[in-house]
Structure 1
């Protein structure tokens, strides 16, 4: 029961409560401190003083908490470490993924503290680092998500609560129920850990093993014990991870098996001719000893292309990761990497740890956070192993019901969140914030007999919000948060007008596995077109990692390609592809120009075969339609003018540069001419666009910046020269 007391009594009450927790073996607990910054800092002083000689972690940098507080985006650096007290500063911003990563470091009997503005004001509080989900011109004046979280935390009776309005609720610590006696061998902390060690320690032949667990299950410590066992058996072990500090638990495990071996400052352990060594994933020496056992810790936090390379390079690989709620690519690890793993290697062994070690079973903090953030309770091993789809009958559109999820609350999204998270390889638990709080964001579903079988999430973009910045957007001078479609297409065709067109971007589309390939996704998109009629959008767009199957699906739904990415995504190893379906007359009129620009750039793409597009899209960009030809010429000239006026970088004008060189060669051929030297430089620049070091070396330049400046200067020479009516002839 909450009791109103004078603020001066808070410190005494809080200290007494903290001492009582120390006198027994109890579960971890959540302490919510709510009020002004000064009030929260005052209460935190009592808490940190009590934990003075123990490890404290802090995330968020608005409050004066502890000197070593990390920025929210750096919280994942704490993976694998432990603490007695963790402090989350919600005055900075409230990001579920950061809170979950922080909470996962709190050991048994420990305390997780969350500091927030007054709970009644928190939904309207303007966060300092909230731009990660808000598009330019948008503001979150009321956070439905924070309102929901505040209610959940306040109504949870096991949560301790200190409010500046005088509320002090300090529930008694929840004692840990002593588990049934289980005989464990030294140095294991759970039967899970002991049996998995026995199963994995025998290195027989080649292969890949995958060890998964939720946080706090002793996964990293187990890896260390295995590494020590293999070292003592005459094997070298290489360990790689994203952050060096995240492997501290691995070296603690090494000490448990081999206490007499010295752990050196460079994170290495030597035993005779063999060694355990830690190296960052991009270190060249990592690839040297292919006979070593390779351990990849928190694998879902690493780029999938690099994981594939390492698995193919080493004969014995141990992948270890957490996949629920923490790592940004965890879902991609499941949907993209695991299928590749099972299809590539004949022998893949799966292991998992279930029993918590860092805290006790039935931990109330873990249970509360999993409930609040709608985390799936599906066991990780069930997610890994392929499911056998149920047989379902063919479905007609008459059986489906299309509607919008109008209640902007996490509870309303519970039935669709798992589907949405499966729809994109980089989806994290932070998706809930975007779903609940982003203006102009809508979630639409297809139901079959009341059950959600398909989901579509969209975002409105562009429009009047970009009117004043349209010219800067078209040239690339300004890059704004959000508005992906408006910015990409406007910049691609150098058109300021199209920046303020109104777009509907399809963020996610997903169908329940048992109902896939039955036309539900097509039904969702067809229904979306009708649903959008009152909104008067100019075009519907989507962007995704390009695969032949996905490109084929979107083309059957009347979407056409706009722009292909030039670099593979670090997480998915795929090139992005932006596609659109023009809706308004204005957008439809621009479709031939967009198609011509796409073809122009695709012809220069060093892996254009990836996009597997129909032959008619590979045709020459010279249109027989004079109006379209003029529009294409004007577009290229506009792009080049933006480069020489320093509005656009030359690296974003490759297609137009090649167009200019082709026009020049058509007009003047190889004759010795005033522009020959400048044209030769630009020709080499275009030729070595994907191999800039060769261009730099050829012209004895110092680096990329000088190379771009050198090429731009030669382009200016060409564009400013107008003897013999050069510009007129270019346009005609």
Structure 2
């Protein structure tokens, strides 16, 4: 059976069922690429409806480089050719699968399947973190991938060899499904707010529900969150609603990571306006990013521009919201009304930043929030075998154990709960790739817990979990089910030449903490000690706030104390996270000077030493941090949240020398009667504030209130204008703010100034 006949039969079945089919062409690079051309010709797919995702030049279709696989989000294609010869990138594969339309083909060009797991490619090189080499990378991800390609329905496998012999058809991929009854058209809601013609364009009941919910955008104060797997028509629903709002005279601002991803929104909005004969200008010649009606309009802006809410729109639609940084999403909370359409299981861009971080802020804001979940596929039929395969191969739908299996874990320190299981019954486990591959349920629980709790987890992390030589997993289990998990990466122990390379500005993969300490903080010795960085730590949502994360960290520290010099972490800093890590013995040694693209936060780097070498490293950088932090806060970090500053400084295992002259102490004493003197010489109070916060215990035990500490951070450390500080901290006037700073200064001068300064304070009463 030839490749042509296999492809033709696959396409015929895909069209008959409105499903997709997957064709694997295994063999040499040139042979598989040529076979892909023949297959798609035989399948009668217009070459203009085919996209090639790969590195090879000269293919007859539009090419998207793998590094730009995100461009496929929100797009639909009759066929996608994914070239896996140069590299098998899980993220790119996941983005490609969702972009194939019903009746279409996904074509994988791969090396020979039997030898593919043993080959090492460009993606494997990214997993070879020094001092490990690419030969240390395992092939477990591809071994599992190959097994699933050979087992799942709807997948044809053809070995084309080097092209010199007749191809061997290992599987034809045909499922021979029973005929399906076409679904009934969805019904128009009773008494709809939008025109009935809008609802008549909906293709599923889910889409009707979503459009009806989006009617709320016609009035200020409402937000709608539309969540769905890819291919469920969420962008179409947003487009139908946007067109209806424009008909009603509303100005609708649409944004997405790229216009291409929002093209479906505009296509459907255009249909609504054309149906109503309301689209201004020639529909064939209109600007694709601007649709104007008699009174309303639908327009597109890139996210950073849209966040400024140009032109004061009546409503904002954010498509592929999970692909935007949380800090950028927060700016849309100032819109009169907003809709956020986001993918549930796609790991788009920032992945779980939307559901893990942004949703809490949305729910705590001023909007009345409505949630809509869409489950019925539109691009292809329900039960599509390619989607089922992709979800399993990339664990796109992995989740933690169901609540009932883990919620028997007792509260830490709660001996009165006789019905719950004691914490002592928890098992501390180290899971290697062999353990995870041998137990699919365990793999899904481990990875699913990481997905549910962390905004960055994506398909590449599955390959890293299974193949990277520097990555290990530790977990707490309850009756065999994972309740808390940590992903650890070994860093440091670098040879002298790599340390010198890093010191001179070169990048060394996977050694984030040694890299920061060496290249940015100019410490060439930082790469000598060996440590474990906590890449992720997650606790099952049903048993959070029971001390399990801390218990897991304690067990890890006890296990590795004789093996490494330090434990470390780097993350988008929030007050709560800083307090958690501090409570577990970690000390702040650095705050990044730019915001993290994914979290929207400044990142904190923290260390917990486990040896003399680790303690020397941590103590050195703690001292340097407190010596430089005041200058950082008055310039690159002048917009960091003051509560982050307070928590970060309370988490440092060092205190700076004050080094103040007698004259500077007199200045400080003078400030206590009113802070006008502060502007003449900010340095003394800046140094005193850092000293106070690095020595401070819990806020409740300190002489200053939280508001006074925020005032010191904003004015003394970050140098904000008096008016801005007064407005932020709810002082009635500039003068009241100045007097409050003086009042906050007095306890610090009394605490650190000594008898002579005390006498000066008494004199100034």
- TM bin, normalised by shorter chain, reads 0.7 to 0.9
1:296 to 301, 308, 318: 318
Query: Following TM superposition, by how much is the alpha carbon of 1:377 offset from its aligned partner in structure 2, in angstroms?
Result: 6.3
Task: For structure 1, list consecutive stretches of 5 or more residues without a partner in the other structure.
Answer: 1-8, 625-654, 660-686, 692-732
Q: What is the rounded CA distance, in whole Å, between the counterparts of 1:363 and 1:559 in structure 2?
A: 48
Q: What is the rounded CA distance, in whole Å, between the counterparts of 2:453 and 2:269 in structure 1?
A: 39
Contact 1:456–1:508, Cα closer than 8 Å, also in 2: yes
Q: What is the rounded CA distance, in whole Å, between the counterparts of 1:266 and 1:171 in structure 2?
A: 39
Structure-to-structure mapping, 1:431-446, within 5 angstroms: 431-446=461-476
Structure-to-structure mapping, 1:537-686, within 5 angstroms: 537-604=564-631, 605=633, 606=638, 607=640, 609-613=643-647, 617=652, 621-622=656-657
Q: SS where residue 86 of structure 1 aligns?
A: strand
Does residue 1:147 correspond to 2:143, yes or no?
A: yes
Does residue 1:268 correspond to 2:302, yes or no?
A: no
1:207 to 222, 226, 246: 222
Q: SS where residue 557 of structure 2 aligns?
A: helix
- Taking a change above 3 Å as real, the CA distance of residues 138 and 592 of structure 1, as seen in their structure-2 partners, is closer
Residue 517 of structure 1 is matched in structure 2 by: 545
- Taking a change above 3 Å as real, the CA distance of residues 321 and 183 of structure 1, as seen in their structure-2 partners, is closer
Does residue 1:37 correspond to 2:29, yes or no?
A: yes
Measured on the aligned residues, the alpha-carbon RMSD in Å equals 3.2
Query: Following TM superposition, by how much is the alpha carbon of 1:483 offset from its aligned partner in structure 2, in angstroms?
Result: 0.7
Residue 187 of structure 1 is matched in structure 2 by: 201
- Range that drifts further, 487-496 or 103-112: 487-496
1:482 to 507, 510, 518: 510
Residue 735 of structure 2 is matched in structure 1 by: none
Contact 1:41–1:64, Cα closer than 8 Å, also in 2: no
Q: SS where residue 612 of structure 1 aligns?
A: helix
Q: What is the rounded CA distance, in whole Å, between the counterparts of 2:392 and 2:617 in structure 1?
A: 48
Q: What is the rounded CA distance, in whole Å, between the counterparts of 1:616 and 1:437 in structure 2?
A: 35
Contact 2:240–2:269, Cα closer than 8 Å, also in 1: yes
Query: Following TM superposition, by how much is the alpha carbon of 1:370 offset from its aligned partner in structure 2, in angstroms?
Result: 0.9
Query: Following TM superposition, by how much is the alpha carbon of 1:162 offset from its aligned partner in structure 2, in angstroms?
Result: 0.5
Residue 707 of structure 2 is matched in structure 1 by: none
Does residue 1:418 correspond to 2:448, yes or no?
A: yes
- Taking a change above 3 Å as real, the CA distance of residues 270 and 145 of structure 1, as seen in their structure-2 partners, is same
Query: Following TM superposition, by how much is the alpha carbon of 1:152 offset from its aligned partner in structure 2, in angstroms?
Result: 0.8
Contact 2:221–2:366, Cα closer than 8 Å, also in 1: no
Query: Following TM superposition, by how much is the alpha carbon of 1:63 offset from its aligned partner in structure 2, in angstroms?
Result: 7.1
Does residue 1:407 correspond to 2:441, yes or no?
A: no
Contact 2:210–2:226, Cα closer than 8 Å, also in 1: no
Query: Following TM superposition, by how much is the alpha carbon of 1:488 offset from its aligned partner in structure 2, in angstroms?
Result: 2.1
1:473 to 496, 502, 508: 502
Q: What is the rounded CA distance, in whole Å, between the counterparts of 2:341 and 2:613 in structure 1?
A: 52
Q: SS where residue 453 of structure 1 aligns?
A: strand
Residue 560 of structure 2 is matched in structure 1 by: 532
Residue 61 of structure 1 is matched in structure 2 by: 55
Query: Following TM superposition, by how much is the alpha carbon of 1:688 offset from its aligned partner in structure 2, in angstroms?
Result: 12
1:505 to 510, 533, 544: 533
Structure-to-structure mapping, 1:102-251, within 5 angstroms: 102-141=96-135, 142-164=138-160, 166-168=167-169, 169-172=171-174, 174-175=176-177, 177-184=180-187, 186-201=200-215, 203-251=218-266
Q: SS where residue 24 of structure 1 aligns?
A: helix
Query: Following TM superposition, by how much is the alpha carbon of 1:334 offset from its aligned partner in structure 2, in angstroms?
Result: 0.5
Q: What is the rounded CA distance, in whole Å, between the counterparts of 2:380 and 2:243 in structure 1?
A: 25
Query: Following TM superposition, by how much is the alpha carbon of 1:459 offset from its aligned partner in structure 2, in angstroms?
Result: 0.9
- Taking a change above 3 Å as real, the CA distance of residues 231 and 120 of structure 1, as seen in their structure-2 partners, is same
Contact 1:445–1:454, Cα closer than 8 Å, also in 2: yes
- Range that drifts further, 539-548 or 163-172: 163-172
Q: What is the rounded CA distance, in whole Å, between the counterparts of 2:523 and 2:302 in structure 1?
A: 44
Normalising to structure 1: TM-score of the pair? 0.78
Query: Following TM superposition, by how much is the alpha carbon of 1:126 offset from its aligned partner in structure 2, in angstroms?
Result: 2.4
Query: Following TM superposition, by how much is the alpha carbon of 1:362 offset from its aligned partner in structure 2, in angstroms?
Result: 1.1
Query: Following TM superposition, by how much is the alpha carbon of 1:336 offset from its aligned partner in structure 2, in angstroms?
Result: 0.4
Q: What is the rounded CA distance, in whole Å, between the counterparts of 1:16 and 1:352 in structure 2?
A: 36
2:478 to 444, 448, 467: 448
Query: Following TM superposition, by how much is the alpha carbon of 1:58 offset from its aligned partner in structure 2, in angstroms?
Result: 2.1
Q: What is the rounded CA distance, in whole Å, between the counterparts of 1:391 and 1:530 in structure 2?
A: 26
Q: What is the rounded CA distance, in whole Å, between the counterparts of 2:588 and 2:650 in structure 1?
A: 13
Q: SS where residue 622 of structure 2 aligns?
A: helix
- Range that drifts further, 211-220 or 136-145: 136-145
- Taking a change above 3 Å as real, the CA distance of residues 610 and 286 of structure 1, as seen in their structure-2 partners, is closer
Q: What is the rounded CA distance, in whole Å, between the counterparts of 1:585 and 1:205 in structure 2?
A: 60
Contact 2:347–2:457, Cα closer than 8 Å, also in 1: no
- Taking a change above 3 Å as real, the CA distance of residues 471 and 195 of structure 1, as seen in their structure-2 partners, is closer
Q: SS where residue 108 of structure 2 aligns?
A: strand
1:139-187 per-position Cα deviation (integer Å, ceiling 9, x unaligned): 4443110111011111224311111354302233544622453455632
Q: SS where residue 171 of structure 1 aligns?
A: coil
- Range that drifts further, 602-611 or 10-19: 10-19
- Taking a change above 3 Å as real, the CA distance of residues 11 and 489 of structure 1, as seen in their structure-2 partners, is closer
Query: Following TM superposition, by how much is the alpha carbon of 1:559 offset from its aligned partner in structure 2, in angstroms?
Result: 1.4
Query: Following TM superposition, by how much is the alpha carbon of 1:55 offset from its aligned partner in structure 2, in angstroms?
Result: 0.8
Task: For structure 2, list consecutive stretches of 5 or more residues without a partner in the other structure.
Answer: 162-166, 188-198, 413-421, 660-682, 688-716, 722-765
Q: SS where residue 30 of structure 1 aligns?
A: strand
Q: What is the rounded CA distance, in whole Å, between the counterparts of 1:223 and 1:251 in structure 2?
A: 9
Contact 1:27–1:173, Cα closer than 8 Å, also in 2: no
1:22-70 per-position Cα deviation (integer Å, ceiling 9, x unaligned): 7734521111111111220221121232323551122121375444211
Does residue 1:79 correspond to 2:73, yes or no?
A: yes
- Taking a change above 3 Å as real, the CA distance of residues 461 and 496 of structure 1, as seen in their structure-2 partners, is same
Q: What is the rounded CA distance, in whole Å, between the counterparts of 2:313 and 2:521 in structure 1?
A: 52
Q: What is the rounded CA distance, in whole Å, between the counterparts of 2:82 and 2:553 in structure 1?
A: 41
- Range that drifts further, 431-440 or 152-161: 152-161
Q: What is the rounded CA distance, in whole Å, between the counterparts of 1:26 and 1:17 in structure 2?
A: 14
Q: What is the rounded CA distance, in whole Å, between the counterparts of 2:120 and 2:143 in structure 1?
A: 13
